[in-house]
Amino acid sequence: MSRVRRGAYIAVLSTGYAEYDFNGERNSEMDNVTDFFGSLVFDDRVMKEKLSAEVYSSLRKTIDEGLALDKKVANAVADAMKEWAVSKGATHYTHWFQPLTGVTAEKHDSFIEPSADGNVILEFSGKELIKGEPDASSFPSGGIRATFEARGYTAWDPTSYAFIKDKTLCIPTAFCSYGGEALDKKTPLLRSMIALNKQVMRILKLFGNDDVKYVTTSVGAEQEYFLITKEMYEKRPDLLFTGRTLFGAKPPKGQEMDDHYFGVIKPRVAGFMEDLDKELWKLGILAKTEHNEVAPAQHELAPIYTTTNVATDHNQLTMEMMQKIAARHGLVCLLHEKPFEGVNGSGKHNNWSISTDSGQNLFSPGATPYENAQFLLFLCAVIKAVDDYQDLLRISVATAGNDHRLGGDEAPPAVVSMFLGDELSAVLDAIEYETHYEGVKKQKMMLGVDALPRFSRDTTDRNRTSPFAFTGNKFEFRMLGSSNSIACANIMINSAVAESLKIYADELEEADDFKESLKKLLRKTIKEHKRILFNGNGYDDAWTKEATEVRGLSNYKTTPDCMPHLLDEKNIRMLTSHHVFSEVEMRSRCEIMLENYCKQVIIEANTMISMVQTSYIPAIMGYTNELANSINVKRAADVSVSVGYETTTLRRLSSLKDFIAGKCDELKISLEAVREIKDIEKRSCLIRDDLLIHMNELRAMVDEAETLTAKSYWPYPSYADLLFSVK
Ligand code: ADP
Ligand code: MG
């Protein structure tokens, strides 16, 4: 399946994409994308070429069906990998993994081993391929690893291809403690894929699909980001230390004109995108669409979807490459969820579906009523999952940065709901009330015992406000922040859907009359879970009110609000029963996530204090001195000074300066109070209820002062300088 897709994609590339540069000249380098696509990946093509038929087929079995790899095969693979990597100029290898810090980690070892004659040989064994032992004591473990047992180990994930980056062979790996607890994001993701596969297979058997060997989930992650010039970036300590601006008055022009969305891409940005695409293609990443987003300086990249754990690795790599390539162009790529107040933040859209080993998408409405019955069951499983585990979905995207989007006034809201579109909603109504379903093509359908409705694929979704939307043959989860790893969201989606399917399979396997039981089960799901379905405008305040007060949906605005619910009994029961997490792992993750939240906001508060004390207050004093001088000049000329521009501005700025100094002191006191609290949950709550309030108030005062102070006195680039810096 993936090979078919890739072939088709290369055809698209070589005929239509970037063949001409921006002057209309033929772009010779881009001519032969097919030659370099995946050139830095030890992918299926390379494996076939470099491995013996026997080793290849055994490795393929491991990749596709999860069978264990024997030592002989591992050695042969390691040897071929090393030969290939060295031929591409690599000198080192690393186990590449995704600890809970949110970034990727690597520890480079060189291939060299001393040889008897005093020279070196290049060596890489199966053992080194399969298992690594980074000295990982400083990765967060939430108390799982006591310090005396600080070493964890990394284990090869053969389902994600090895690749070369910075002359280093990178081997995608999972990261665990010696007790076997997961210390990373990949391990639970792989476990959740196994859990989902198990339950989907039970359901497929019930529908008589006996030739399906396994199913996988696929994800296409659309990634938003901002680009600003390096020059401006380096002048802003807040961007340097926290990734977002902590101060900044609104620019005269923001995003109100919507003229940036899909607008003409500026040459410098186009140069960046072209370079980025090229580097990503070398890494086998199917970067497909690049365009401008709504906010000025905001852009988006969408890849073609692929297997979830590969998509997760690819998204991490994409974020890393974005930053590297930007630097080459004198730019900085901001991946923070909310780099600029008053301007849309950046998110990620996680497009998710399940397909069989032969490439059948289980969320494609089928051509026959029978296929549709199966489709409706999978659809209902997702509806039930999203409703039952709203909290886990919200938790999976919770960070200090994303709180500014989800809890704020922008897309999507913190309330999780699901969009199905009119046609599918009508089908569900018909099932619930056992009425006629009238499709868009005016074909009337009776919901008889043996025939469920047949309908066409609805591709009309353009409801961009929905957090979880059905978009024809996949679901689009839109709550992820731009810097989130997509692993967390997919762990929760996979597990929650596995749980729905388990409940269905338990019931249907025992049923005397399969069709009747199926109908009952669908109707029951729709009745019990339709509260999660909402096709309207998710930004509307009226919706939040209805969602929370009438429908009883949860509305967790912040990370401290939602994170402790990870440990609710129902969540522990569900996730442990599918072996996605152990209870210990869940407790440690909850602690780490809250710790990350606290650390992030505390760094922000510290940065604010330093900027105010060392730059803003002195700047305001400088300008107020000038105003005072000007007033003295007036006085000397016998002009009345009791009113006039200088006097009113001086009065306001002087008092603002004192307010700012006072607020800064309050912020310091609040910070002390936060530091004194040892309990991480309580600490995060005090940050939410006190520290962040002071930070916002301080910001508002400084932003007002910015609008009154001469630009030549203002110490940092303005929003206009930042947002419109890339010409
Ligand atoms: P848009 O959201 O702009 O309408 P598309 O729906 O075409 O664009 O695709 C958005 C993303 O969804 C892309 O990354 C695409 O590869 C991915 N996608 C398309 N089909 C599927 C699928 N069946 N499963 C998972 N992702 C998919
Ligand atoms: Mg989309």
DSSP string, 530-561: GGGB--S-TT-HHHHHIIIIIS---B--SHHH
pLDDT tier for residue 511 given thresholds of 50, 70 and 90 = very high
Q: Pick the atom of ligand 1 nearest to 303's CA.
A: 14
289 by Cβ neighbours in 10 Å (0-12 / 13-18 / 19+) ranks as exposed
pLDDT of residue 22: 37
User: How much is the pTM?
Assistant: 0.92
Question: If you average pLDDT over each of 12-21, 142-151, 682-691, which comes out highest?
Answer: 682-691
The SS3 assignment for 370 reads helix
Question: How do 468-470 and 418-419 pair as beta strands?
Answer: parallel
Of all helices (H) and strands (E), which one includes residue 600? helix 583-611
Q: Is 222 in the pocket of ligand 1 (CB under 6 A)?
A: yes
pLDDT of residue 463: 66
Q: Is 307 in the pocket of ligand 1 (CB under 6 A)?
A: no
pLDDT of residue 460: 54
Among protein residues, the one with the nearest Cα to ligand 1's atom 8 is: 302
pLDDT of residue 587: 94
Among protein residues, the one with the nearest Cα to ligand 1's atom 19 is: 305
Among 216, 474, 493, the mutation site with the greatest number of ligand 1 atoms within 8 A of its Cβ is 474
pLDDT digits (tens, 9 = 90+) for 404-452: 999 776 778 899 999 998 888 888 888 888 776 665 444 444 443 344 5
Between the CA of 60 and the centroid of ligand 1 the distance, in Å, is 27
pLDDT tier for residue 113 given thresholds of 50, 70 and 90 = confident
**What is the mean pLDDT of the segment spanning 575-593?**
95
pLDDT of residue 257: 62
Query: Which two structure tokens, joined as six digits, stand for 166?
Result: 């910075």
Q: Is 218 in the pocket of ligand 1 (CB under 6 A)?
A: yes
Among 222, 305, 476, the mutation site with the greatest number of ligand 1 atoms within 8 A of its Cβ is 305
DSSP letter for each residue of 393-415: HHHHT--HHHHHHHTTTSSSPSB
C-beta separation of 313 from 322 below 8 A: no
Q: Is 421 in the pocket of ligand 1 (CB under 6 A)?
A: no
CA dihedral of residues 506, 509, 515, 516 (deg, nearest 10)? -60
Does the pLDDT of residue 30 top 60, yes or no?
no
pLDDT tier for residue 540 given thresholds of 50, 70 and 90 = confident
**What is the mean pLDDT of the segment spanning 47-62?**
93
**What is the mean pLDDT of the segment spanning 645-658?**
96
| CB-proximal residues (5 Å) to ion ligand 2 | 349
Cβ neighbours of residue 186 under 8 Å, at least 6 residues apart? Answer: 97, 98, 157, 172, 173, 174, 175, 309, 312, 313, 487
Instruction: Provide the sign of the torsion angle of the four alpha carbons 260, 265, 266, 272, taken in this order.
Output: positive
Cα separation, 167 vs 701, in Å, equals: 49
Query: Which two structure tokens, joined as six digits, stand for 82?
Result: 């090393």
**What is the mean pLDDT of the segment spanning 670-688?**
97
Least confident of 20-29, 118-127, 488-497, 539-548: 20-29
pLDDT of residue 96: 93
Does the pLDDT of residue 62 top 90, yes or no?
no
Between the CA of 18 and the centroid of ligand 2 the distance, in Å, is 22
Q: Pick the atom of ligand 1 nearest to 286's CA.
A: 16
Q: Pick the atom of ligand 1 nearest to 352's CA.
A: 25
Of the chain, the percentage scoring pLDDT greater than 70 comes to 88
Between the CA of 271 and the centroid of ligand 1 the distance, in Å, is 25
Least confident of 155-164, 525-534, 692-701: 155-164
Q: Is 220 in the pocket of ligand 1 (CB under 6 A)?
A: yes
The SS3 assignment for 342 reads coil
Q: Is 300 in the pocket of ligand 1 (CB under 6 A)?
A: no
**What is the mean pLDDT of the segment spanning 385-405?**
97
Cα separation, 664 vs 662, in Å, equals: 5
Cα separation, 581 vs 152, in Å, equals: 17
pLDDT of residue 118: 85
Question: How do 92-96 and 120-122 pair as beta strands?
Answer: unpaired
pLDDT digits (tens, 9 = 90+) for 198-256: 999 999 999 999 999 999 999 999 999 999 999 999 999 999 999 999 999 998 777 76
Q: Is 474 in the pocket of ligand 1 (CB under 6 A)?
A: yes
Does the pLDDT of residue 268 top 50, yes or no?
yes
Does the pLDDT of residue 9 top 50, yes or no?
no
C-beta separation of 328 from 196 below 8 A: no
Cβ neighbours of residue 436 under 8 Å, at least 6 residues apart? Answer: 430, 444, 445, 446, 447
Cα separation, 515 vs 452, in Å, equals: 10
Of all helices (H) and strands (E), which one includes residue 261? none
pLDDT of residue 256: 67
pLDDT tier for residue 664 given thresholds of 50, 70 and 90 = very high
Between the CA of 14 and the centroid of ligand 1 the distance, in Å, is 21
Angle at Cα 611 formed by Cα 608 and Cα 612, nearest 5°? 85
pLDDT of residue 139: 73
pLDDT of residue 447: 42
What residue has token string 């991946």?
Answer: 335
pLDDT of residue 457: 54
The SS3 assignment for 256 reads coil
What residue has token string 């006097």?
Answer: 647
C-beta separation of 629 from 647 below 8 A: no
Between the CA of 541 and the centroid of ligand 2 the distance, in Å, is 24
Q: Is 303 in the pocket of ligand 1 (CB under 6 A)?
A: yes
Length reported for the chain: 727
Between the CA of 431 and the centroid of ligand 2 the distance, in Å, is 29
pLDDT of residue 2: 37
CA 104 to chain centre: 14
- Residue 109 β-bridge partners: 93
Least confident of 114-128, 369-383, 405-419, 459-473: 459-473
Q: Is 473 in the pocket of ligand 1 (CB under 6 A)?
A: yes
What residue has token string 């926290």?
Answer: 242
Between the CA of 553 and the centroid of ligand 1 the distance, in Å, is 28
Q: H/E/C letters for each residue in 72-127? A: HHHHHHHHHHHHHHHHCCCCEEEEEECECCCCCECCEEECEEECCCCCEEECCCHH
Does the pLDDT of residue 536 top 90, yes or no?
no
Among protein residues, the one with the nearest Cα to ligand 1's atom 11 is: 220
Does the pLDDT of residue 26 top 70, yes or no?
no
Structural domains of the chain, ranges and CATH numbers in brackets: 37-184 (3.10.20.70), 193-220+347-442+456-578 (no CATH), 597-723 (1.20.120.1560)
Of all helices (H) and strands (E), which one includes residue 229? strand 215-229
Q: Pick the atom of ligand 1 nearest to 305's CA.
A: 16
Query: Which two structure tokens, joined as six digits, stand for 513?
Result: 């009359």
Q: What's the whole-number average pLDDT of the chain?
A: 88
pLDDT of residue 32: 81
- More confident site: 123 or 1: 123
Among protein residues, the one with the nearest Cα to ligand 1's atom 6 is: 471
pLDDT of residue 307: 94
Least confident of 16-20, 229-233, 403-407, 524-528: 16-20
Q: Is 304 in the pocket of ligand 1 (CB under 6 A)?
A: yes
Read off the DSSP letter of residue 236: -
Cα separation, 152 vs 142, in Å, equals: 13
Q: Is 353 in the pocket of ligand 1 (CB under 6 A)?
A: yes
Cβ neighbours of residue 545 under 8 Å, at least 6 residues apart? Answer: none
622 by Cβ neighbours in 10 Å (0-12 / 13-18 / 19+) ranks as middle
647 by Cβ neighbours in 10 Å (0-12 / 13-18 / 19+) ranks as middle
Distance separating the N- and C-terminal Cα atoms of the chain: 42
- Nearest bound ligand to the CA of residue 291: 1
Between the CA of 243 and the centroid of ligand 2 the distance, in Å, is 25
Does the pLDDT of residue 93 top 80, yes or no?
yes
pLDDT of residue 670: 98
C-beta separation of 274 from 30 below 8 A: yes
pLDDT of residue 454: 58
CA 313 to chain centre: 11
- Nearest bound ligand to the CA of residue 306: 1
Of all helices (H) and strands (E), which one includes residue 281? helix 267-282
